[in-house]
Structure 1
Amino acid sequence: MYCTPHAVQYSYMAKNVMQLAILSTQRVVLLLWLLHAPAAADAALTTVAGCPSKCGDVDIPLPFGIGDHCAWESFDVVCNESFSPPRPHTGNIEIKEISVEAGEMRVYTPVADQCYNSSSTSAPGFGASLELTAPFLLAQSNEFTAIGCNTVAFLDGRNNGSYSTGCITTCGSVEAAAQNGEPCTGLGCCQVPSIPPNLTTLHISWNDQGFLNFTPIGTPCSYAFVAQKDWYNFSRQDFGPVGSKDFITNSTWDKSVPTVLNWAIRNNGSCSSITGLAPACVSANSNCVNTSNGVGYLCKCSPGYAGNPYATGADGCTNINECDLRRAEPAKYEKLYPCYSGSKCHDTEGDYKCKCRFWHRGDGKLDKGCRAIIPWTAVAAVATLLASAFLAALLLYIRRERKRRQRKGLFDKNGGNILRNVLNIKIYSEDELNKMTTNYSNMLGNGCFGGVYKGITDEKQEVAVKRFNPRDEERSRDDVVREITSQSSIQHDNLLRLVGCCLETDVPRLVLEFIPNGSLHTVLHGAGRNMHIPLLARLDIAVGSAEALAYMHSNIGHNSIVHGDVKSANILIGDNMEPKVSDFGASKLMSVAKYNKWSVFGDLNYIDPVYTSTGDFTDKSDVYSFGVVLLELITRRKAKYDGTSLRVQFDKHYKDDDMRRKMYDQDLLSDDAQPHCLECLDKMADIAVQCLRNNVDERPTMAEVLEDLKKLRESAKTHNTYPTRVDGEGKPDR
C-alpha cells in the first residue's frame, strides 16, 4: 500500500531537533557564499576604461563587473580563465546568465544526494547549504524538488528559522514510481512549486531515521535541489548513482542545477515614488521601480529607450529607432510599432511619429487615422447627386432584375430542388417571410447565430422565424441540404419542431414552432422569477430536456448530433411547463464535431472547459452544459451570479451538507415534504456534479443522466405530498 504525496512543513525548533539526530549519518557539504554587504554608497561607481564586458560566453553588464574599479560594491564577478571558454563566478558560485531588465542572475547550485548500499542501509548523505547576502535573494521563480523512493527532504530558507518546508516521495519499486515525464506528485518525485520572497538561505537536509526505513530494489539514491521552475523532467533513471542526465557538472560540484537569484540595489539610496529617480539610475532616460523580492529597487529604461540604466553615455539608455526596426524585421515590429496605411514612419527622440501622406491629415498611428483632404468635395457631392438622379430609373430596373436572379441562384445553390422533395418541410419565399414577420418588426430574441422574430402564417399558425448572421465562409450546397434535412428528421416532443425554411437568402432562414412562455432562463431568473415552481415540475423539465438531448445523441439514421449550446436560455417552456430544447444553430453531426476541431460559439458559463483547452467537442460536452442547467434548477441562481460562477461555488460547498443545502432554492424547502424534498435535491445535485466532472470519461452519457432523473422523478412521485403543478398566478396547485 503506497502513501499519497504530502507537503510537509514543521516549525523551526521541532525540525532542528530532528536534524540533530539525522546529522550523525549524514555528510553535509556546506558552502558559505559571503558576498560582503557594502556601506551605503553616495553615488554610482564610475568604471575605468578597459573593463571586460564578457567572461567567456556570458555578458557581464553593470552594475556587475570584472576587476578593480569595474564593479559596484557587492557586484564583483571573477572570471575563471582555467576553463575554455572562461567561466564567471561570484564567490564560489558559477554564473550562467545575468539579466539587467529582470533583476535576475541564473547560477549553478549544488544537488543534495543520499545513496544506499547493497544491504539497503543508507550511506552518509550529502546535504547542501547556501547563504546569501545583499544584493541577492532566492527568486520565487524556483521550485524545490526531491527524487527517490521513501524519501523525506527539507528546505530551510531563512537563518532565523521562520521558513521551513519539505516534501515526501514514496514508491514500492521503480515500476511503482511515476512514468517518465509525469508531474512530480509524490510517486518517486515530489515538488514544492511555490517559494515565498525574502529567502536568504538555501539549506537542504534529509530525514532517514525512523519515518521511511526501507529502500525499494533498484532505487539506490535520492536527490534534492532548488532549480528554476519547469527545468526538471522526471525520469526513473534518475534513481541511479549518476542521477539525472540533466544535472550539470561545473567548476565546483559534480552535480548542480540552474537556480534563479533576484538581485537589486539594496544599499544605495531609495526609489522616489514621486519622481521615479534613484541614485543608482545614472543613465539619462531611466527611472526606478521597487523590487518585488526584499527591500531595494531596480533601474529601468524609460519607454522608447533601451540599454543599461546603470551605465552612462552610449552604454546607457539610448533612443529606440522604431522605424529602422520596422524596416529590418517587419513581421516582428510592425504590430509593435504600427504605422497604418497612408502614413510614413519618422523616428523622434524616445518615440516615433506616423506622418500622413500628401493631401491627408491626422495620426497614422491610429487605424484610419489619416483622412483625405479633398477641396472639391462639394463639387463631387453635386456631381454624385446629379448622376444619381439620372441613373435612378435604370438602377431600379437593374436591382429588381438582379434580385430576381439572385433569389433564383440562391434557391438552387441552397439545395431548393432537392429540399422540395423532403417530407415535413415547407419552402417559403423571402416575400412570404417578410409578410408573416411584418418585415421582422417583432423580435423575440437575439443570439450569436442571429435574431428570432415572431410571425403568423397564412394558416394563422404562430411561428418563430430565425434569421442567421452571414458567415465569413461560403456555405456549400451540400452543407445546407445536409443541415436542414438532418434537423427536419429530428422529431421529438421535447425538441423544437422545424416547420419550414427559406432558401432565397445568402444564409437559409428557418421557420420554427412558436413557444409562448419564453425560456427556462426567463422563468427562473427573469419575468417569472417570483413564480413558485414545485420540485416535480422542475424534475419534469430536467427529464424532458434530458430526453431531447439523449435522443439527439442517439444513433438517428446513423448520424448522431451534438447540440453545442445547451443552456437555460435555449430550453423553451410550453403552456404545461413542458420543455422544448431549441437553438440548433450550433448543432453538428457528432463525427464532424469530433474530428474536425469544430468551433463552438456558445455561452462561456456553460461551455465545457475540456473543449476550451483541447478544441475537442463531444456529446460529453453537452452533458457538462446540462449539468450547469441542473444546478440552475435546484438553486434558482444564474450560471454566473454576483460575479461568481455557479459551478465553482457549488463545487466548493458540495461536500458540506449545510453549505450545499443553503444554496438550494429555499422556496422548495417551504413545502410540507421538506425531508424528502431535501433528499431529492441532494440526488439532483449528485447527478449535476457527475455531469460537471473535469475528466470527460467519468461523465455519464445523456442516456444515463436521463435514466437517473427518471428514477428520481418516480421516487419523488411516491412522496407526492407537495405541489406538482404551477397555477397561472405562480402559486402551487395542490
Structure 2
Amino acid sequence: MVVRTVFQILLLLGSINTVVKGASIAKGSCQAQCGDVDIPYPFGIGAGCYINDWFAIDCNNQTAVSSTPKPFLKSFKLEVLNISLQHGTVLVKYVNYPIFWICANGTKTTASVDLASSPFVFSQLANTFLAVGCDNFASLASPDGAIVGGCMSVCVKNTTLLTNNDGTSCNGINCCQTSIPSSLQLFNATIESINRESPSNIDCKYAFLAEKMWFEANLINPFKIQNMSQVPVALDWGINTTLLPLFTGNNQSSSYNSSSYTRSSKSSTFTCFCKSGFEGNPYLPQGCTGISTSLGLLFLLIGGWWSYKVVKKRNNIKRKENFFKRNGGLLLQQQLSSSEVNVEKTKLFNSKELEKATNHFNVNRILGQGGQGTVYKGMLVDGRIVAVKKSKVIDEAKLEEFINEVVILSQINHRNVVKLLGCCLETEVPLLVYEFTLNGTLSHYLNGQNEEYPPTWDMRLRIANEVAGALFYLHSTASTPIYHRDLKTTNILLDDKYRAKIADFGTSRSITVDQTHLTTVVQGTFGYLDPKYFQSSQFIDKSDVYSFGVVLVELLTGEKAISSTRTPENKSLATYFIHSMEENNLFDIIDAQVMKDAKKEEIIAVANLAKMCLNLTGKKRPTMKEVAKQLEAVQTLRKAPYVQQNCEEVEYVTTEMYEQWDAISTLRMSSANNGVVSSLESRPLLYF
C-alpha cells in the first residue's frame, strides 16, 4: 500500500511537471500538439504560431496508414517524431532517407536532404554514421567531395553477426560506426570493398545516418536495416541572431546562448533556456515558471489528494455497508443463523475479487442472460473457473427471491445440482458465484450442432435420469423438501462430461415436511408451467413433475417447449405431444437421432412416463421418486446387452395409463430360462 502511494505521488509530480511545462509550450491559443507529439514555440501549427517559415509545422490529419495525425516539418516535408527545447533538437524521419546501399547486381543510392541556409544541421552528438555488411569501407563526404568521416568492417566466416559483451552489435565485424562532423547540412556516402581484387559475395551493403538511441534500442541486429525504408535522424536547431531583440528583456527568467553553432561565416544562431529554479518554454514571454511554485502546488495537491483518498475510502466503506443491507445481507445472516446451513461453505466474496475475475464484467465474458440476471465467466485468483451471476436491479419484492436462492443452494449437496460457491452483497446489485459448467444448457445442447458429442439416446436417457434423481433428492431426501418451481431445459446445465446440473433456484421454495402445497403468486415459464398451479396458485411437488414431463418430451422430440412454427392449438409442446399420442402418431414427432438409437419399446415406455407426468390432474401424476425409479429401470436394462430380453410385443395404448406401467413392466420382464431377475427394489435408486 505504501509503495503504491509513493508511486502515485511520483506520478502526480510528473503530471504537475507536465502541466507546468505543457501549459504554455505553444504561442497564445495556438495548437500545442499534433497526434502524440508536442509542438512548442518557436515551432508552431498555423499562421502566426511559429517564429518563421523554417519552424512551420503541418499537422496531417489524413495519413494513409493511421488515423492519428502526424506533424511534418513543412520546409523539408520531414515527419517530426519529437521536439526538444532543452537540447535544441528535432527528431525526424523521411521515407528512403538517409539510407545508401550498393548490391551485387548494381548500385542504388538516395539523395540526401539539403539543410543549407536553414537553421538546422545534422546533430553531431545525437547521430552516428553506420555501415552494414562485411568487406566494407563506407565514407562520408561533404558536398565538395571531401571525406569527413568513415569506417571499415571485415568479414567473419560462418557468421553474419557478432556482438560485443556490452550488447552492441557494430564493432567492426560485419558492421561499423563512427561520429559525424559538426555543422553538417548535406552529405553523400560512398561504399567500397576493402579487398577490391577479391570482393565478398555479400549481396548488399548499406550506409546510413541514424539517431544513436534509436539505433541502440531497435537495431541490435544491424542487418535488419535491409527490411527498413526509413530511420530517424536528429537535427540541431537554433534561432537566428537577428531575432535576438525579440527575446531580450521579455523574459527575466530565461537566458540565451549566442553562437551555439555556426551555419556559415555570415550567420550564427542562439538557443534559450530557463534559469536555475525555473521550468517551461524560454522562447515565450513569461514562459519559464518557478519550480518552487510547482512544489507548493505539488504539496497542495498531495494534501488534497490524500484527503480525497481518505474521504473516498470512508464513503466506499459506507456505500458497501448500505449495499449489503439493501441487498439483504441482514436477511441472509438471519436466514443462515436460523437454518442448518454450513455457513463456512457459503463464502462472502468482495467486489474487487469478482471485478477482477470477470475483467470488470466484460461483455465478452457473458455466458447467458435470463429473467433474473446475467451470468459471466470468471477466473478466481486461485485459478478456479466460475460462473458469476449478476442479478438485475431488484426491488424489495424481489430481494427475498435472491436471498432464498442463496439459502436453498447452501443447503443442497448433490452432484446433479449446481454448486453455490458464495455471494457478494456489497455491490449495487447482488452477485452469486457458482461452479462453472463447460457445455452450456440442455436447451442449447438439444438445439445446437454438436458433432463430437451428439445428443444420442443414451445421452438423453442419462440426462433425464440425472435430472429426475436430483428432483427426487430435492423433494424427498433433502433435509427440508424443496420445490424448484422453474424447471426447464435452459435451467439444466451440462458440465465437462455432459452431466446434468439443475440451476437457477431464484423462485424455489422450501417447505416443512407436513406441508402438502405452497400458495404463492404464480411464477414460472410458459410452456413448463403446471396448468393446475396456474389456476389455483397452489404449487405442489407434482407441479415440478409436470415441468419435468415437458423436459422429458423435449428430450424425446428435440422440439422446444413453445414454438410459433407449430399450429396455434399445438403451440405448447405438452399439448402437441399428448395429441400426437392420442392420434397414434407418436413416432412421427420423435427426434431422428432417438429413432435411430432407441428401441421402440424404450421410446414407448419413456413417452408413457412423460404422458403421466403431464396429466392435468396433479394427484394422478407419479412422484419424482417413481419417475426416477422407472427411468433407472429403462437405463439399467439398456445397459445390459448380455440379457436375452424376450419382450412381449407392446400394444400401443391410447387410453388413460396413469396408474398402469405396462410399458415399463414389459421392459423389466425377462425369460425365466435365462435365470435373470430384475430386482430394482433390492438396490439403492440413487447414490449421494
Which range, TM-score by smaller chain?
A: 0.3 to 0.5
Q: Which has the higher helix share?
A: 2
Q: With structure 2 as the length reference, what TM-score do the two structures score?
A: 0.44
* Structure whose alpha-carbon radius of gyration is higher: 2
